[in-house]
Structure 1
Amino acid sequence: PAIAHVIADGGLHHFVVLYRVRKTSVTIMDPAIGRRVRLSTEAFRDMWTGVLLLLAPNDTFRPGNRQTPAWKRFRELARPHKAVLAQALLGAAVYTLLGLSTSIYIQKITDFVLVEGNLNLLNLLSIGMLLLLALQVFIGVLKNL
C-alpha cells in the first residue's frame, strides 16, 4: 500500500491509502468514509495532487513476529491515566450505590413504617434519603462537568 495526497470535494487536502492500481481503476481506502472505494483511473487522477508517500524499511529495521495481546496494549495505554480511571471507577460505584438507596428507602418504609406506624423512623429515613438524593445530584453535576 501507498498513501496518496488528494484534493477532496470542497478543495480539502486529504490522504487516502492506495490498495490496488489497475489500468482502468484504482482501489483506495478513504479514512473519511471508512471503507474501500473503487474509482476509475480518470477520477483518481482528477483528485490526486501527484504526491505519493511510499514507506520502506531502512537498514536497521528488524521484522518481528510478536503479537501483543489486547489486554496488554490496553494496560499500557491506561497506565498514564491510572488516577483518573480510579476516580471514575470510584465515582461510578458511589453513584450506583446512591441509586440503589431509593430501593432500600422504599423497602424500609414498607417493612417498618407502614406496618408499625413508626413516624419517628419515617422522619429519620426521609431526612437521610433527602441527604442521599442531594449527594446524588451533586455527584451527577460533577460527573457532567
Structure 2
Amino acid sequence: MNKQEIGTFLLRIMLGATFFMHGLSKFQGGLDNISGWFQSIGIPGFMAYVVATIELAGGLALIAGLGTRVISVLLVFIMAGAIIYVKLPAGFMGNEEGTGFEMDLVLMVIALHLVLNGSRLMSLDSKLPTNKKGQDSKSIAS
C-alpha cells in the first residue's frame, strides 16, 4: 500500500459520499419537481430520474469500490452536463444570478482521476476475479 493508493481511496470515498447525498436529496425533494426543472432548462424530464439514480446508487457503489471506473465515467458526463446546461452562464466563481461551476469541475476531475486510475484499495472490485491479459495462457500452460 502506497500513498497514491491511499489518496485515491480517499478521493473515491468522498466522491461517493458527495454524490450519494446529492442523489438522496433529489429523491427526498421529489423527482417530479426535479423533472420539471430539467424540462424548464431544456433537458428531457426523464433524465432527472436517470441522474438521481446514478448519483444515489453510484455514490454507494463508489464507497464500496464496485464498478469504480464505470460509475466515474457516468459522473464525468453528469458533471459536464451540469456545467454546460446550468452553471456555465454564471462563470467559474458565480455571480448574482447563481453559483459558479468550480465545484462541479472539481468533482468532474476527481471522477476523471478515478476513470484513469481506478481505486482498488479496500474495494469490492479488488475481490472480484479478473481476467488479466496473459492470465489465460498461463493457466492453460500449467
TM-score range, shorter chain: under 0.3
- TM-score normalised by length of structure 2: 0.25
Higher radius of gyration, 1 or 2: 1
Higher helix share: 2
- TM-score normalised by length of structure 1: 0.24
Higher strand share: 1
Q: Identify the structure with bigger relative contact order (alpha carbons < 8 Å, sequence gap 6+).
A: 2
